[in-house]
Amino acid sequence: MFIRIDKLQIELPQPKAADPNAAASVQELLGGRFGEMSTLMNYMYQSFNFRGKTKLKPYYDLISNIATEELGHIELVSASINSLLNGPFSDRRNADPNDAPYEAEKDLRNTHHFITNGNASLAGNSMGQPWRGDYVFSSGNLILDLLHNFFLENGARTQKLRVYEMTKNEAAREMLGYLFVRGGVHALAYAKALEELTGVKMSQMLPIPKIDNTHFAEALKFEAKGYHRKLYRFSQDDYRDIAKIWHGPAPDGSGELEVVDGPPEGGKMADLEDIASAFAPDYRPEEIFEMAQKLYQQASR
């Protein structure tokens, strides 16, 4: 089961201007074949389906625990998309519907962001296609699943690098810098698991593509804090045997790999304001805000 914390894994800067086409590109990293929904659901189903949990506990713990971190990644990428869709790209966000306040939105890359989701993220890719269950690979064979996960992390990194090259928007790049580092941890963790099982030095292939995270200012900042050496244990008492795999010197020679007992400190979640023209949360939100206010008055009575 899961416990939820109402924070993001890092605090995201709010962009100075909305960038809806950057939001469309970032969608690939959420709901594309190599997006965070895919890493999440691949590791989640592999953990659900795992046979021999007790005898193979370090591997079970590793896959289960990384799955939980990925839950926080879909949350972070969604937050980045929502911020990119939030700025004042239309100064008519509160205009009368008769004046077509959404006219500019019809010419944007992904009209689903606006028509179906009210200026918000969707469970699909950069072309608006829905995320699919058949992106999940859960073969039941441990080495094959770990090999797939190593491939998936590196495929995800390749696509993140391409999206980084598409936008300089700070809300996108902060998220990307952090996920370059976390994806690096996951790729190395799966490499180490495969090395233990097979003797093949998978980690020598990294990074794929061959450009270090430290090349990017937003990732360098997190690596300077040692985030690339830390595997967070997202549980109160369980999954401790990840330390059987996640130990030893970091490949960059910067120190020892370490398991952190608990989640990262995290950052606060943005509270995006209402958009009357999107009817989100409604056309005249003051009325439902007032109703919500009554809940507090009733509770204090």
- The site for Mn ion (CB under 5 A) is made up of 36, 39, 70, 73, 183, 186
Give the number of other CB atoms < 10 A from CB of residue 248.
9
36 is in an annotated binding site: yes
* Minimum distance of Mn ion from residue 95's CB (angstroms): 39
73/233 with CB nearer Mn ion: 73
* Minimum distance of Mn ion from residue 70's CB (angstroms): 5
Whether the link from the prior residue into 58 is cis, omega within 30° of 0, is no
CB 284 within 8 A of CB 21: no
- Single out the residue of 131, 17, 121, 24 nearest to residue 79, CA to CA: 121
61 is in an annotated binding site: yes
CB 163 within 8 A of CB 25: yes
* Minimum distance of Mn ion from residue 46's CB (angstroms): 13
* Minimum distance of Mn ion from residue 227's CB (angstroms): 13
186 is in an annotated binding site: yes
75/274 with CB nearer Mn ion: 75
34/102 with CB nearer Mn ion: 34
206/280 with CB nearer Mn ion: 206
Give the number of other CB atoms < 10 A from CB of residue 185.
21
92/132 with CB nearer Mn ion: 132
153 is in an annotated binding site: yes
CB 113 within 8 A of CB 119: yes
Show the tokens assigned to 81.
């998309």
* Minimum distance of Mn ion from residue 189's CB (angstroms): 9
235 is in an annotated binding site: yes
112 is in an annotated binding site: no
Q: What angle do CA 98, 104, 106 make, to 5 degrees?
A: 90
Residue 33 CA to chain centroid, in angstroms? 14
For the annotated binding site for Mn(2+), the residues are: 36, 70, 73, 153, 186
For the annotated binding site, the residues are: 36, 61, 70, 73, 153, 186, 235
